[in-house]
Structures are given as structure tokens and as C-alpha cells.
Structure 1
């Protein structure tokens, strides 16, 4: 039996992680000092499998337009090609900057340790992965606002 609370149900969304969807996500949430609460990786196998991995990233972030109220937000990445999760002593699962979304070779990279770039933009997909402790590459995805966590 898992004593942890389940991931909350969707309240708003899903919204695609397109240019417009990413802009809406970054406008809705203040990610400074937000916390990555849960990472769920899922893989289907067999002849009816949709193919590829699914990654759900649940982040507790603050809603800008609602007096910085905490709200869980879920990034759901489809057909994840590769990812990197380093559980080092230096990485505390606190996000100091918003996630950085880039596209190279038709794939979406979501870097949750993007502060290392500062105002610069990575030039290749491999550069996104170099030095990041939490990064995913996928064919696409969505984001959703979730209901508050049960206490």
C-alpha cells in the first residue's frame, strides 16, 4: 500500500506544449522556488502499446494572477525519447527558474535546471542535456492545472 497521496485530478487543461501553450504556462505560474513534487515514468509494452514512454512531472508552483497561491501543475510528456534525472546532493528538487522549453530536430526538450544558461539559449539538443540534472526530450506534451493536494 502506497501511503503517499495520489496525484490530484485535473482542474484546467490539458493545454498543448506549443508556443502558445508554453507562453500561457509561463504567464500563469511563477516557478521561482517552486518544487518538483513527483516524477512518474510510464512505459507500455506489447502489440497494442501506443509506443514510447510517458513522463508526468508534478510541480508545486505559484499562480501569478491569484496572489501567488500554490497550485500543482502537471507537465505530461508524450513519447519521451531520452531523459536525465540525477539525484545528486546539489539538486534539491527546487526550481529556481522556470522550465526551459526548446525544440531541436522536431523534438521538445524540457530542462528543469535551466538557470545554468542564464540569458543564453542552448544551440543543440546535446547542449541541453550537458550539465542538466533534470531534463526530458519528447515528441510533445501537455500541461494541466491540478486540484489542490489532499491534506
Structure 2
């Protein structure tokens, strides 16, 4: 298991005007767990481009409705629990190494459409940032705490001008 590489991935913390964070419930899980948009980086793809692509694929949010606020200075990692290694991602990865980006959502709730061409979420909502670690599956909790620590200085409400 330790010989397997980490899957390259990009993640998006998307905050609305109230400083709340977008989270979705995965279609492939019955757990009451919420996660931020994230997904694999294609070979030759820039991490920021992958983040915007994944955001669109998972939320239907157009790139012109988001504004980059910050980027994590380094990759963040998580390991799959032993019972999932070999069962997800065709057994090729031991976990993920992720580049995280903080974006501000400039649109309205009606601009979110999780019924995309390849849907990943069955439900979505805006959540208080501090509630994120408790809402994610336990094996990603430390990762979400790290993402929150990196972006905390940039969080807060930003009412429309």
C-alpha cells in the first residue's frame, strides 16, 4: 500500500458573500458527509485550471462567477483508510495530494446547478467554515482542518458593493 502514489488533485473552497462555504453530498455515498468540490488533475493540466474545471463539472458554476482570493502555498495530503485502498480509483492510488484554491462566489444561488452532465452531488448547501472538519468523512478531517487553517485569514462576509 505504501508503494502506491498519491493522486494529483485540485480542491476549491468556494465562499459566498456571507462568508459561508459551498459543500455537497456525494452521490456515491449514503453517509451524512459533506465535501467541497475537488477532483483529479489531468496529465499536463495546470492545478488552477483543474480547480475551475472541477468546480464547473460538480456545481455548474461558470468561471466568470468566481474570483480567486488565495491559493494554498503547498500541496496537502490525505491517505485513504486501509479498507478503501485497492477499491477506489481502480486501486492505483493510496490517497490524494491536493492543491487548494479559495474562490469568492460572485453569483446567486440560482447559478448553482449540481445536475451536471456527470453529477457528483445529490444535495448542496452553504456551511459555516468552522463546521467543515466535522462535516467531512473522518479520514479527510485533518486535511479539512489544514485547508481551513490556510484560508482562515481570508474568510468572512463580503457584502455586495
**TM surpasses 0.5:** no
TM range (shorter): under 0.3
More helix by share: 2
